[in-house]
Structure 1
Amino acid sequence: MDKFKFEKLIIWQKAMDFGEVIDQLTNTFPEKEKFNLSSQICRASDSIALNISEGFIGQSNPEQKKFIGYSIRSLAEVVTCLFKSKRRNYISEEEFTKLYNEAYHLMKMMSAFRKNIK
């Protein structure tokens, strides 16, 4: 495939994978969170890849940087939701640490990528 520029971006691929992991995680949350925390963390995690792709469709470099910034903000929202999930005992310390580290790695990749956009 790879007909769109963003499909080749490692940060987009990683963001897509991360979103799927988060989606699977929310299946274990209590039913009462379906329209609250589950919905919020899924929308935020999906927004990471969505903003990366939006920034790379016929956009100028300043626009690309702006949309990577939006992706980083969405990732920060996911991390906050992970903290909420841990505090509410929906995820274990081990799950939290694994996802937190994945999020941090993705954030570093996106920040470095944004810095390299001329």
Structure 2
Amino acid sequence: MESNYKKLIVWQKAMRLTTGIYRNVKKLPKEELFALSDQMRRAVVSIPSNIAEGCGRQSLNEMSYFLRIASGSASELETQLLFCKNLGYLNDEDLKESMPLLNEIIRMLSRLGKRTAKSLSSTN
């Protein structure tokens, strides 16, 4: 497998998202320090980390698995951001960059996952 994950645009965007989410998490109330904010940081870090791990593996099957984990983490983060908005912790201005970027990453992961699965089925 190609292990140069840093060239993947989806990984680059996920890294940018991670930085933005870390900034947003600082705006959450102190009582969320060990709950929602911790969960959001773990979810967002999981996205580029699993893309990288999948690319570092030796098979398309493993890559597909880690892309699914990254996609699940992205959906988890989306839900957490919606919680933050609903609770008034973050507003539209706070989310104006993160939400569209996250939605783009989710679409990109879906396309990459489908291409990987297609490559997998053609090798079997």
Tell me the TM-score normalized by structure 2. 0.86
2:77 matched to which residue of 1?
78
Quote the offset at 1:32 in angstroms.
0.7
Q: Calculate the aligned-residue CA RMSD, in Å.
A: 1.3
Letter in 2 for 1:56: C
Quote the offset at 1:55 in angstroms.
0.6
SS of residue in 2 equivalent to 1:56: helix
SS of residue in 1 equivalent to 2:56: coil
Letter in 2 for 1:91: L
Gapped runs of 5+ residues in structure 1?
Answer: none
2:51 matched to which residue of 1?
52
Distance 2:104 2:42 in 1: 20
2:64 matched to which residue of 1?
65
Distance 2:58 2:37 in 1: 32
2:33 matched to which residue of 1?
34
Distance 1:103 1:95 in 2: 13
Aligned partners of 2:71 and 2:109 also within 8 Å: yes
Aligned partners of 2:57 and 2:63 also within 8 Å: no
SS of residue in 1 equivalent to 2:22: helix
Gapped runs of 5+ residues in structure 2?
Answer: 120-124
1:101 matched to which residue of 2?
100
Quote the offset at 1:101 in angstroms.
1.9
Aligned partners of 1:44 and 1:74 also within 8 Å: yes
Quote the offset at 1:97 in angstroms.
5.1
Aligned residues: 115
SS of residue in 1 equivalent to 2:52: helix
Q: Percent identity?
A: 32
